[in-house]
Structure 1
Amino acid sequence: MAIPDTNGARKGQKLVIIGGVAGGASCAARARRLDETAEILLLQSGPDVSFASCGMPYFIGGEITDRNQMSVQTPGSLRSRFNIDVRVNTRVVSINTEAKTVTAINETQSTTEKEDFTYDQLILAVGSEPLKPPIPGINRPGLFVLRNLQDMDSIVAWLQTLPLDGEEKPHAVVAGAGFVGLEMVEQLMRRGLDVTVVEMLPQVLGPLDVEMAAIVEEDMKKRGVNLVTGDAIQEFLPAEGDERSTVVRLKSGKLLPSAALTILGMGVRPDTKIIREAGIECGPRGHIIVDDYMRTNVPDVWAAGDAIEVRNPVAGNDEKWAVPLAGPANRQGRMIADNIYGMNRKFKGTYAASVVRVFDLVAACVGMNEKMLVQKNLPFACVHVHPGSHAGYFPGAKSVNFKLMFHPTTGKVWGAQAVGEDGVEKRIDVVSTAMQGQLTVADLAELELCYAPPVGSAKDPVNIAGMAAQNVIDGFVEQVDWKELKAVSSLPDVVVLDVRNISEVEKDGKLIEGAINIPLNDLRSRMNEIPDGKRVVVSCASGQRAYYATRILKQSARFSKVENLSGAWKTYSLVQNRV
């Protein structure tokens, strides 16, 4: 019989958890800490109950060398430390929410005998499964998805059959340029393969906007990655004379070189078929609908992790989105246990703080990108800044390419993106924290952050982005976005002014088409070279000198309008051909 707790929560209940890894395992461990009398049963379809899924590409590439480290908890460790009954290789085939039973099959046995388990509380942590679209040849040998440790082991075993030490490098194809796809590109090249990555979208890393993704793309190409964007896979064909290798035909008709290995990183979908069949409400893309307390529409059934929709606190208005990240899944699982025991904790939503390393670059983002803001018809402005990762006079500073999206009048932060070699993720962490605290761009400008020459600057990149945004809101500067420049610069009343030094222009080899070059330090004495009454768009290398120039020109009263090119030459030079 269940024993009432002093706070009204019921102890001694039977908790059945479907799925381990992040959400399920954290729920089980937290529930045990709250209730020694609970009966906790965790059903996991595979042989590993809690594993380091985010570390799998790095084990494949050899940066992680100890296979044992990939198992965070084993059935034995969960049983001995937390007294949790873990059944691995146990696939749930149906749920009866009226009878409060779960039916499962142990897939290690030769029979298909089913077993029923009763529950008082049911927790769904089923996660997501890799997309395998019905492309001809997708089940050929040498084509792999990466969902679990068995997939990881299969890829490692396949790599061991390839001649990685020969003069001619084996070729690999990575289908999909999301976070995991690009991690696999890096790690396969680390293992000595030539790599082609194919992405049907016009850019890599969909959560980033195109000009930020272009920084990563440029670096990948310099490293020898064959990058194909804006094209999809039509079919997988056997290579002539080599049944183990695969030729990829693209929708454009292009044939890629024969691949000894192909990684399918085409995205994921929620693994919720039996959940929908049980009458548990799911969204149009199959994600489980939960409230702020992680409850489903069925009493005593909860859900966490990749398979659920959660509140989008950035957009507001009760909007939901699906964000498959390990951090939120862990917190959601813990919260479910708390709420089962009467703590009534609300999940405030996910801000989608994400990061990936691609060779020497790190790309990170939080909140909504520009594409989402346009889609939702939300008013926004953007600033691009390119400050150093630490004080410029201290050796080794790297550029932090930073984009900040915000409401053009209130200063609410919609999101941020950053790409660079050093200090990127900590700046996005700061913005993520600020967003959760409902700070505005004016607050970002005033944040007190650590400064010492080897690790930071007196004005941190976050401060600088906040100040730039504040200048836009206060009307000290008007901007032309890189996407608008070609159309704007072709107008007869527009002059594009580049205030870089002559040596910089000569080094880069070009100006923006039609631009005139007057270095900033010469601008006051040479202002007469700019025709009166013109609309002037000012650019420099990274934006700071152009801002100084716009302030000089705006106060001269000789020009009809003066605007700063957002992102300056550094951004425009990467993406000018994408307009």
Structure 2
Amino acid sequence: MEKILIVGAVGGGATAAGQLRFYNKEATIKVFDRDSVMSYAACGTPYAIGEVIEDEESLLMANPEQFHEKRNIDVHLKHEVTAIDRDDKSIHVKNLETGEEFQESYDKLILAPGGTAIVPQVKGSETANIFTLRSYNDMLSIKEYIRSNNPQSCTISGGGFIGLEMAENLKELGIDVHLVHKSDYVMSILDEDISREIEKELLLNEIHLQTNAYITEINGRSQTLSNGDVLETDFIIMSVGLAPNVGLAKDAGLEIGKTGGIVTNDYMQTDDPSIYAIGDASENFDMVTGEPKRVPLAWPAHRQAYIAAKHINGESIPKKGLLGTSIVKIFSLTAAMTGLNENKLRELEIPSVSLIHNGNSNAGYYPDHGKLKLKIHYDPNTREIFGAQCLGTKGVDKRIDVIATAMYAGLTVDDLQALELCYAPPYSSPKDPVNMAGYKADKKI
């Protein structure tokens, strides 16, 4: 009887365990995680803090008792895996509650250790109320601080996904928000013109934004920035990035790649065929360029869990690479992207052209319509789509999802004309913005 161990019990790890049991009723499956909860919807935590999601426990998708009763999978929370013995095919585990340490053997091992929020070393950090938002317990800590202290102001360091989502949700709670971002513009994965529109939305909603700046010193409520400005706020949220948890893999001699993630093959195996790596800590490849890529988002983790589980059970389904398709809400706006942005194309010296379509989300005569901007990068010769971005108040997700599907299928920018997309006045136009982008590309030949 095969024995499979999984390190990590959140998105990727919990999904892998469930998939393994679905395809293999006999295997022994055990999951270990140092946290006190499992299988929670981390992406929902900013909205639970902002009370958009009223019941924070609704983010908990499962617990160890359910996994044991329904799937015959043993989940050990508050258990830290401290080492991997590849020769002996075992892991070293420490029970964080009792201090007990023990060995657990495996036939196959899946690493889904996730990542850790980066907290810059800033002078005086110990004098301030500083939080990160990476886990369910981080969310509870922030909610408890707000409930107990009734803060009036916050500094958010970092203008990525978490930074923007927290800016909106804290503002909706009535907290005055200062957003500080080290780069020239927020959401650096987007093109500058798209990001500038997001910045306008932040300012319209009275978010105090400073770009090209970062915190250099902290003294209680006071933060000195790199540009010399001084902010006075009650607490700080650090959202400057995510470091993949690869220490365990590195200590075991597994290969770590260019992106800082654990190198994996088409089936999520590491350079040790008995060990798989999935989720935020695994390195994959870009679907467009083939270059190493690491995308610490939920969709890749769930897909990788499926690929690893199928491979362990004897069915080889190779991964296809990642586009980094993603989306974020910023007050009344939504921004989404897939594939490569302008900076990446420039960095890789890939010849490309871009088109922009400004239009309506659906029929302009229908009372409920919104404006959107759709931007597509493509090869002027082969017409291959390299990437796309969309910004608007309605229908943004639909357009980027269609283009991500087109890229996966290998369609050209000209093929977008011919896609027969659904239409009725509340939803689109006879020529959808995606179709219009295809027609505009035709004029650029």
TM-score range, shorter-chain basis? over 0.9
For residue 190 of structure 1, the aligned residue among 172, 176, 181 is: 172
For residue 339 of structure 1, the aligned residue among 308, 311, 322 is: 311
For residue 224 of structure 2, the aligned residue among 249, 254, 264 is: 249
Shift of 1:138: 2.9
Shift of 1:276: 0.3
State, as a whole percentage, how many aligned pairs show the same letter: 36
For residue 416 of structure 2, the aligned residue among 437, 440, 444 is: 444
What are the superposed Cα offsets for residues 163-191 of structure 1, whole Å, 9 maximum, x if unpaired? 36xxxxx1111110001110000000011
SS at match of 2:15: helix
Contact 2:153 2:177 (C-alpha < 8 Å) held by counterparts: yes
Partner of 2:46: 57
For residue 428 of structure 1, the aligned residue among 400, 425, 438 is: 400
Flag structure 2 segments of 5+ consecutive residues without an equivalent.
none
Shift of 1:134: 1.4
Structure with bigger RCO (C-alpha 8 Å, 6+ apart): 2
SS at match of 1:263: strand
Shift of 1:31: 0.8
Partner of 2:282: 308
Contact 1:406 1:412 (C-alpha < 8 Å) held by counterparts: yes
SS at match of 1:157: helix
Partner of 2:205: 223
Shift of 1:92: 1.0
SS at match of 1:459: coil
Contact 2:157 2:239 (C-alpha < 8 Å) held by counterparts: yes
Partner of 1:84: 73
SS at match of 2:426: coil
Shift of 1:285: 4.4
Q: 1:140, 1:368 → 2: CA distance? A: 41
What are the superposed Cα offsets for residues 329-374 of structure 1, whole Å, 9 maximum, x if unpaired? 0111111111001101101111111001111110000000000000
* Moved beyond 6 Å, runs of 4+: none
Q: 2:258, 2:368 → 1: CA distance? A: 49
Partner of 2:241: 267
Shift of 1:33: 1.1
Q: 1:354, 1:151 → 2: CA distance? A: 23
Contact 1:390 1:398 (C-alpha < 8 Å) held by counterparts: yes
Shift of 1:299: 2.3
Partner of 2:121: 134
Q: 2:394, 2:216 → 1: CA distance? A: 39
SS at match of 1:443: helix
Q: 1:438, 1:75 → 2: CA distance? A: 42
Q: 1:319, 1:147 → 2: CA distance? A: 27
Q: 1:211, 1:180 → 2: CA distance? A: 21
For residue 370 of structure 1, the aligned residue among 310, 326, 342 is: 342
Aligned-partner residue type, residue 113 of structure 2: V
Map 1:63-462; keep pairs closer than 5 Å: 63-109=52-98, 111=99, 113-163=100-150, 170-238=152-220, 246-256=221-231, 258-315=232-289, 318-462=290-434
Q: 1:140, 1:106 → 2: CA distance? A: 32
Map 1:466-505; keep pairs closer than 5 Å: 466-472=438-444, 474=445
Q: 1:188, 1:47 → 2: CA distance? A: 26
Aligned-partner residue type, residue 274 of structure 1: L
Q: 2:429, 2:55 → 1: CA distance? A: 38
Contact 1:146 1:152 (C-alpha < 8 Å) held by counterparts: yes
Shift of 1:325: 1.1
Q: 1:374, 1:85 → 2: CA distance? A: 49
- CA gap 1:425/1:327 in 2 versus in 1, 3 angstroms: same
Contact 2:259 2:293 (C-alpha < 8 Å) held by counterparts: no
Aligned-partner residue type, residue 254 of structure 2: I
- CA gap 1:285/1:137 in 2 versus in 1, 3 angstroms: farther
Q: 1:363, 1:138 → 2: CA distance? A: 33
Partner of 1:478: none
Contact 1:132 1:138 (C-alpha < 8 Å) held by counterparts: no
Contact 2:260 2:283 (C-alpha < 8 Å) held by counterparts: no
Shift of 1:219: 1.0
For residue 3 of structure 2, the aligned residue among 7, 10, 14 is: 14
Aligned-partner residue type, residue 207 of structure 2: V
Contact 2:259 2:283 (C-alpha < 8 Å) held by counterparts: no
Aligned-partner residue type, residue 237 of structure 1: N
Q: 1:337, 1:94 → 2: CA distance? A: 23
Q: 2:380, 2:286 → 1: CA distance? A: 20
Aligned-partner residue type, residue 324 of structure 1: P
Flag structure 1 segments of 5+ consecutive residues without an equivalent.
1-11, 165-169, 239-245, 475-579
What are the superposed Cα offsets for residues 56-115 of structure 1, whole Å, 9 maximum, x if unpaired? 000000011112211111111111111111000111111111111111111112x3x321
RMSD, aligned CA:
1.1
Contact 1:142 1:158 (C-alpha < 8 Å) held by counterparts: no
Aligned-partner residue type, residue 404 of structure 2: S
For the pair shown, the structure with the greater C-alpha radius of gyration is: 1
Q: 1:353, 1:275 → 2: CA distance? A: 27
For residue 36 of structure 1, the aligned residue among 1, 12, 25 is: 25
Partner of 1:533: none
- CA gap 1:346/1:92 in 2 versus in 1, 3 angstroms: same
Shift of 1:141: 4.2
Aligned-partner residue type, residue 204 of structure 1: V
Shift of 1:140: 3.9
Q: 2:402, 2:106 → 1: CA distance? A: 42
SS at match of 2:253: coil
Count of residues paired in the alignment: 445
SS at match of 1:386: strand
Contact 2:46 2:169 (C-alpha < 8 Å) held by counterparts: yes
Contact 1:388 1:400 (C-alpha < 8 Å) held by counterparts: yes
Partner of 2:37: 48
SS at match of 1:365: strand
Q: 2:442, 2:310 → 1: CA distance? A: 41
What are the superposed Cα offsets for residues 497-542 of structure 1, whole Å, 9 maximum, x if unpaired? xxxxxxxxxxxxxxxxxxxxxxxxxxxxxxxxxxxxxxxxxxxxxx
Q: 2:252, 2:23 → 1: CA distance? A: 29
What is the TM-score normalised by the length of structure 2?
0.98
